[in-house]
Amino acid sequence: MSAQREMKEKNPWPVTIIIIVIGVIVIVALVTVAVLQNMPLSQKYKYGIVLDAGSSHTALYIYEWPAEKDNNTGRVQQTHVCKVQGPGISSYASEPWKAGESLMACMQEAQQRVPGKRHLETPLYLGATAGMRLLNMENSSASDAVFRAVERSLHTFPFNFQGARILSGQEEGAFGWVTVNYLADRLEQGLETTGALDLGGASTQISFVSSNYDGSESPSNSVTFRLYGNNYNLYTNSFLCYGKDQAMKLLLAQQTLLAPKTIVDPCFHPGYSEAVSYSGLYDSPCVSNRKPQGAPEAFNHTGSGNFLQCQDVVKSIFNFTYCKYSHCSFNGVFQPLLQGHFGAFSAYYFVMDFLNLTDTSIPLTKVKEVISSYCATPWDEVKRQHPGVKVKYLAEYCFAGAYILTLLTEGYNFTSDSYTQIEFIKKIKGSDAGWTLGYMLNLTNMIPAEAPDSPPLPYAGYVSFVTVMAVLLFVLVIVSTRRFWLRCSKRPQIV
């Protein structure tokens, strides 16, 4: 009897085990509830569609971002791009309905790609650039008719169509800069920004922040932003007619001043020969006022492939002498001193990639040698060496290489040192560099002026904190009530 009593007096374990089990259950329940309550919701996505109606072609971009994170940086990504078949919408001036029709295939693709339940809320924008700027200057009723046709087509889709409009050159430059810096996460972190160099078919843009530009000299080149709590004073300029295709028209116009029947163009390969109609060449407002009197119907465009002579003709399409400001790029346009890194995209990338010159640590002397050797290659050999490349592009890369080099070094004043600060890019983190993403972010208010409030702890830190605190609390309770439980378990029990 006394042995049995002794055993009951000395065994505190059943009570302690029950306490520990209850404690563990409470901790697990506490942590689970806290974690579930604060867990990011299962990812639902929102979508936005932008049509880039460029001078040479139209492309449709689909962007996607987590539905809960509209305001967070770096979260909007390009998920799909569709290249519209055929030329840019400005080429349909004489049959505008075809402009609308040309977009249908890519729009149907977008309808497949964006989940059906998101269609109605998905914003759809069409922005037209230099091709439509030129058509609007030349024939505004034709450009209106093209927009009407395009809008009619876009209205037939279930998206939230926000309209079609021409972007100003300044908008095109500024939104390209926003895209590049947003994708590289430089805006939210307030890092030094990257400049943007965009070479299109009909215009070219340069945009950068320079500490010696406050907008007071040539205010028309200034765009100010407040993004994530930082103020930016951006310098931007768009040169209409200095995109790759229109610059080539300037070059040909320069060589046909006297209405010749044949020109020997140093920017085209030896053996190259193509008939070019005078009316086709001079239909653009970039050159229409220079059409020579009494020109025949066409001229024979032949090549000699001489890079040095090509550079001379290319230089002649710029005015490097006139400048009423402290510094100019060309044609009397103000430009502050270059500063920082630059991303060069669109045709800059296509051309330099083709020529294997995207590595800007290659010295400029070597760059010239490479372009020079490409220009001197006979046309038949060029076509033989690159069977998969469009013949039109192949023929133009000699001119385009010389043009890009002249534009960058003599136009924008990049030196052999600052040239190394340029990066020729197509995509950043999977999204194309260009104005479209910046345009959509702006119109959907997805970049806040002020930095968003962030939680004091990251999610993983929060989970660890709750767990450690719950365990500590439990240990504390056990320790502080230990004496009480021991006393209870030691109290003699008379059985």
Binding residues: 201-205
CB-based burial, 332-347: b 16+ in 10 Å, e otherwise = ebbbbebbebbbbbbb
Name which position in 99, 202, 338, 357 contacts ligand CTP (CB under 6 A): 202
Q: Judged by CB, which is closer to ligand CTP: 110, or 202?
A: 202
Q: Whole-angstrom Cα distance, residue 223 to residue 168?
A: 12
Question: Where does this chain touch ligand CTP (CB under 6 A) — which range of 12-20, 113-121, 149-157, 240-248?
Answer: 240-248
Q: Whole-angstrom Cα distance, residue 259 to residue 257?
A: 6
Does 56 interact with ligand CTP (rule: CB under 6 A)?
yes
For residues 84 to 113, the per-residue mask of contacts with ligand CTP, x marking binding by CB under 6 A and - elsewhere, is: ----x-------------------------
Q: Whole-angstrom Cα distance, residue 368 to residue 364?
A: 6
DSSP code of 120? Answer: G
Question: Where does this chain touch ligand CTP (CB under 6 A) — which range of 146-154, 209-217, 224-232, 237-245?
Answer: 237-245
Helix (H) or strand (E) holding 105: helix 104-113
Residue 239 backbone dihedrals phi, psi, to 5 degrees: -105, 105
Given a contact cutoff of 8 angstroms between Cβ atoms, the answer to whether 99 and 89 are in contact is yes
Instruction: State the CB neighbour count (10 A cutoff) for residue 398.
Output: 30
Q: Judged by CB, which is closer to ligand CTP: 48, or 88?
A: 88
Name which position in 48, 49, 51, 55 contacts ligand CTP (CB under 6 A): 55
Closest alpha carbon to 302 in 256, 258, 257? 256
Closest alpha carbon to 226 in 448, 452, 435? 448
Does 432 interact with ligand CTP (rule: CB under 6 A)?
no
Q: Judged by CB, which is closer to ligand CTP: 170, or 203?
A: 203
CB of 416 to ligand CTP, least distance (A): 25
Q: Whole-angstrom Cα distance, residue 281 to residue 154?
A: 32
DSSP code of 3? Answer: H
Name which position in 102, 167, 244, 357 contacts ligand CTP (CB under 6 A): 244
- Choosing from 9, 109, 138, 172, the catalytic residue is 172
For residues 364 to 393, the per-residue mask of contacts with ligand CTP, x marking binding by CB under 6 A and - elsewhere, is: -----------------------------x
For residues 325 to 364, the per-residue mask of contacts with ligand CTP, x marking binding by CB under 6 A and - elsewhere, is: ---------------------xx--xx-------------
The residue whose Cβ lies closest to ligand CTP is 54
Please enumerate in sequence order all residues whose Cβ is within 8 A of that of 199, keeping only pairs 6 or more positions apart, or say none: 243, 244, 344, 345, 346, 347, 348, 351, 404, 407
Residue with tokens 């007071």: 216
Site for ligand CTP in 16-45 (CB under 6 A): none
Name which position in 203, 236, 339, 372 contacts ligand CTP (CB under 6 A): 203
Does 249 interact with ligand CTP (rule: CB under 6 A)?
no
CB of 191 to ligand CTP, least distance (A): 26
Q: Judged by CB, which is closer to ligand CTP: 88, or 438?
A: 88
| Coarse DSSP helix, strand, coil percentages of the chain, rounded to the nearest 5 percent | 45, 20, 35
Does 57 interact with ligand CTP (rule: CB under 6 A)?
yes
Report DSSP letters for 174-205, one per residue.
Answer: HHHHHHHHHHTTTTTTTPPPPEEEEE-SSEEE
Question: Where does this chain touch ligand CTP (CB under 6 A) — which range of 29-37, 53-61, 408-416, 485-493?
Answer: 53-61
Q: Judged by CB, which is closer to ligand CTP: 54, or 303?
A: 54
Site for ligand CTP in 462-491 (CB under 6 A): none
> Could you tell me how many residues make up the chain?
495
Site for ligand CTP in 109-168 (CB under 6 A): 129-131
Determine whether 172 is an active site residue.
Answer: yes
List the structure tokens of 44.
């639902």
Given a contact cutoff of 8 angstroms between Cβ atoms, the answer to whether 202 and 241 are in contact is yes
What separation, in Å, do the N-terminal and C-terminal C-alpha atoms of the chain show?
Answer: 9
CB of 272 to ligand CTP, least distance (A): 16
Does 284 interact with ligand CTP (rule: CB under 6 A)?
no
Name which position in 48, 54, 305, 438 contacts ligand CTP (CB under 6 A): 54
Residues with catalytic roles? 172
Residues lying near ligand CTP in the complex (CB under 6 A)? 54-57, 88, 129-131, 200-203, 243-245, 346-347, 350-351, 393, 400
